[in-house]
Structure 1
Amino acid sequence: MLFKIYKKEMIDSFRDKRTLLLTVLLPILMMSALTFFYESLISDGEDETYTLAVEEDISAEQETILGTLDKVELLRAENPEQAFIDGEVQAAIVFADNFDAEVQAGEAGNVELIGDTFSQKSSNLIYLVSGELAEYEQIVVAERLQQANIDPSITQAVAVEQRETNTEDSNIQVLALLIPLILSIAIGVGAAPSAADIFAGEKEKKTMEALLMTPVNRSTLLMAKYLTISSVGVIIGIITLAVVAIEIAFFTEHLKAAISFGDNMVAIIGMGALVTLVYSFFVGALLMITSIVGKTVKEAQSYSTPIMMVLIFPMMMISGLGVNEFTMNHFILPFVNIFAILTELLFGVVNYGHIFMTIGSNLVCIIIIFIISRILFSKDKWVMN
C-alpha cells in the first residue's frame, strides 16, 4: 500500500505542467545561469583591454614608462580627468609638470592616478599602472644607488619567499562554493512546489478528508507523501548537478580546468551522491512540516520561504575558510555540513569521519522532524482545513 500511494503521488507531482516547470526547468535554468556567471567571473579581465587617458603633451620618457603595459591603450586628452568622468577611458594619469626634471635631480616625481575603485575595469587598470610605476621606481632607485657607489642590495632588509601548501587550481575554491550552492538551491526550489501541493494542496482542494477515510493508516500516508517530496528533491538535485557537470565539462574552460579528483574519483562521486541523498531527505522533512502546518498552498509556500533563505547562509559562513580550518561544528550543524563536506570532497579530501558526522546529524534531524510531523498529522486540527 505504501508503494502504491508513493507511486500515485509521484505521478501527480510530475503530471501538472506548471509544477513540472517550477520543479524541473526553473532550477536547471537558475543553476546554468549561475555556472556561466562564475565562469565569466573567473575569466573576467584575461582578454580585457583598457584605455588610459594621458595629457596631450606627455613626454617621451613618461610615454616609455607606460608603453610597456600590455592591453593598455593610451588616449591623449586635453583634460585626462574629464575624459575619465565622461566615460571615454577607464582611468587617467597626470604627471607633474616637472616630473622628469625632479626624477633626474634625484627627487621624487609626483604622479596622480584618477579612477574609480568601485568599477572593476577601473580598479584593474589602476592596479596595472601602479605596478608599472613601482617597477620604474625600482629601476630609478637602483641607478641612483649605483651612481653613489652603493650596492642596491643594501635596500633589501628582508627576503620573503612564499610557499603555497595547496597545489590545487585556485579556481577550485569557486567550485567549492558553486556546487553546494547549486545543490541546496536546486533541491529546495525543486521540492517546494510538490511539498506545498501534497499536504496543503489536498486540504485546499478538500480531498484530504476523503483520503483519510480510506483504510490506510495515517503513518503510511505520511511516509508515502514524505518519500514523494524527498524523491522529487533527489531527482531534481541529480538532474541539476548532471546538467551543470555537462556544462562545466563542455562549455567552460576555467571551471573545467579546476577539477582534478585523481585516484579518489569513485570515492568522491559515491560519497557526494550519498550526502546529496541524505540532504534531500532532510530538506524534504522540513518542507513537509511547512505544508502540514499551512492551510493553503500559498500559506505553505510562505512558511517554506525562510528555509530557502537559510539554504544560502552557510556559503557566507565557510567562504573564507580552508579545508584544514573546518571544525567538528561545521559537520554537525544542519545546512552548514553539506557545504563543508562537499567542499572537502571537491578538494579531493575523503574524510569518512566527517562524512559520517554529516550523514548522522542529518538523520537525527530527519527523525526528530518526522516525529513532529507525525504528531501534527495525527491531529485533525492540522489535517483538516
Structure 2
Amino acid sequence: MLLSIYLKELKDSFRDRRTLLLTVFLPIFMMSGLVFFYENMVSSGEGETYALAVDSNVSKDVLQIFSGNEAIELVKTDNPRKAVEEGEALVAMIVSSDFIQNINEGKQADITLIGDSFSQNSSNLMNAATNSLTAFEKEVTSERLRAEGTDLSIIQPFTITKQEVSDDEGSMFLLSFLVPLILAISIGVGTSPSAADLFAGEKEKKTMEALLMTPVKRSTLMLSKWLTIASVGVITGLVTLIVLAIEITLFTENLKDAVSFGDNVYVIIGISLLLTIVYAVFIASLQMITSILGKTVKEAGSYSAPIMMLAAFPGMIITNVGLNELNFKHFAIPILNLFSQFKELLMGVVDYQHIAITIGSNLVIMLIIFAIGRVLFLKDKWVMN
C-alpha cells in the first residue's frame, strides 16, 4: 500500500509543470549562470586592456611610466574627467604640466586618479595604474639615494615573501562555495511545489478528508507523501550535480583545472551523492512541516520561503573560514555542514569523522522534525481545512 501511494504521488508531482520546471530546468539555468560567472571571476584577464584618460598635453615622460603595463591603454583627451563620465574611459589621470620637473627638482608632485570603485574594471585599472606609479616612485627614490651615496638597503632592510598553504589560486575556494549554495537552493526550490501541493493543496482542494476516510493509516499516508517530497529533492540535487560536472568539464578552463581529486575521485563523488540524498531528506521534512501548517498552497509557500533563504547565510559564514579552521560545530549544524563538508571534499580532503557527524546530525534532526510532523498530521486540527 505504501509503495502504491508513493508511486501515485510521485507520478502526480511530475505531471505538474511547476514541479518539472523547478526540479529540472531551473537548476540547469541557475547552475549555468553561476558557473560562467565564477569562471569569468577567476579568469586571469590576460589580453584585456583598460582605457586610462589623460590630458592631451601630457608629457612623454609621464606616458613612459605606463609603457611597461600592457593592460593600460592611454586615451588622450582635452577633459579626462568628462571622458570617464561619458564612458569613453574607465579612469582619468590628472597630472600637472610640471610634474616631471618638480620631481627632478625634489619638489612635491601630485597625481589624481578619478574612477568608480564600485566598478570591477575601473578598480582593476586604478590598481594597475597605482602599481605603475608606485614602481616609478621607487625608481625615483633609488636614484636620489644613489646620488647622495646612500646604500639602498637602508630603505629596504628585509624582504617579505608570501606563500599560500594551498597551491590553488582561489578557483577551488569559489567552487566550494558555489556547489553547496546552488545545491541547497535548487533542492529547496525543487521540493517546494510538491510539498505545498501534497498537504496544503489537498486541504485547499477539499480532498484530504476523502483520503483520511480510506482504510490507509495516517502514518502510511504521511510517509508516502514525505517520500515523494524527498524523491523530488534527490532528483533535483542529482540533476544539479550532473549539470555542474558537465559544464565545468566542457565549458570552463580555470574551474576545470582547479578540480583534481587524485585517487579519491570516486570516493568523493560517492560521498557527494550521499550528502545530496541526506540533505534532500532533511529539507523534505522541513517542507512537509510547512505544508501541514499551511491551509492553502500560498500559505505553505510563505512558510517555506524562509527555509530557502537560510541556505545563503551559511555560505557567507563559511567563505572566510580556512580549511584547517573547521571544527565540530561546522559539521554538526544542518545546512552549515553541507557547505563545510563540500569545502573539504572539493579540496580533496576525505575526513570520515566529519562525514559521520554531518550525516548523523542531519538524520537526527530530520527524525525529530518528522516526529513533530507525524504528531501534527494525526490531529484533525492540522489536516482538516
Q: TM-score range by the shorter chain?
A: over 0.9
**Aligned counterparts, 1:188-207, within 5 A:** 188-207=188-207
State the one-letter code of the partner of 1:75. Answer: V
Give the corresponding residue for 1:289.
289
Deviation at 1:26, TM superposition (A): 1.9
State the one-letter code of the partner of 1:253. Answer: E
Contact 2:91 2:126 (C-alpha < 8 Å) held by counterparts? yes
Deviation at 1:340, TM superposition (A): 0.6
Give the corresponding residue for 2:85.
85
Give the corresponding residue for 2:358.
358
Give the corresponding residue for 1:124.
124
Structure 1's unaligned 5+ residue stretches are: none
- 2:253 is equivalent to residue 250 of structure 1: no
Give the corresponding residue for 1:64.
64
Deviation at 1:82, TM superposition (A): 2.1
Alpha-carbon separation, structure 1, partners of 2:338 and 2:19: 26
Deviation at 1:108, TM superposition (A): 4.0
**Aligned counterparts, 1:78-117, within 5 A:** 78-117=78-117
Alpha-carbon separation, structure 2, partners of 1:123 and 1:169: 20
**Aligned counterparts, 1:229-248, within 5 A:** 229-248=229-248
Deviation at 1:115, TM superposition (A): 1.4
**Aligned counterparts, 1:315-334, within 5 A:** 315-334=315-334
Contact 2:19 2:190 (C-alpha < 8 Å) held by counterparts? no
Deviation at 1:363, TM superposition (A): 0.7
Contact 1:52 1:89 (C-alpha < 8 Å) held by counterparts? yes
Query: Which secondary structure does the structure 1 equivalent of 2:154 belong to?
Result: helix
Give the corresponding residue for 1:312.
312
Alpha-carbon separation, structure 2, partners of 1:165 and 1:331: 22
- 2:218 is equivalent to residue 218 of structure 1: yes
State the one-letter code of the partner of 1:162. Answer: K
For residues 62-96 of structure 1, what are the alpha-carbon distances to aligned partners after superposition, in whole Å with 9 as ceiling and x for unaligned? 11112222132211111222222222111111222
State the one-letter code of the partner of 2:300. Answer: A
What TM-score results when the alignment is normalised by the length of structure 1? 0.96
Give the corresponding residue for 2:3.
3
State the one-letter code of the partner of 2:70. Answer: D
Contact 1:31 1:186 (C-alpha < 8 Å) held by counterparts? no
Alpha-carbon separation, structure 2, partners of 1:108 and 1:38: 43
Deviation at 1:59, TM superposition (A): 1.2
Alpha-carbon separation, structure 2, partners of 1:238 and 1:384: 35
What TM-score results when the alignment is normalised by the length of structure 2? 0.96
Give the corresponding residue for 1:172.
172
State the one-letter code of the partner of 2:263. Answer: D
Deviation at 1:357, TM superposition (A): 0.6
Alpha-carbon separation, structure 2, partners of 1:135 and 1:169: 25
Give the corresponding residue for 1:346.
346
Give the corresponding residue for 2:265.
265
Deviation at 1:45, TM superposition (A): 4.0
Deviation at 1:40, TM superposition (A): 2.2
Alpha-carbon separation, structure 2, partners of 1:97 and 1:18: 66
Alpha-carbon separation, structure 2, partners of 1:155 and 1:31: 51
Contact 2:51 2:72 (C-alpha < 8 Å) held by counterparts? yes
Contact 2:292 2:377 (C-alpha < 8 Å) held by counterparts? yes
| Aligned-pair Cα RMSD in Å | 1.4
Alpha-carbon separation, structure 2, partners of 1:221 and 1:70: 68
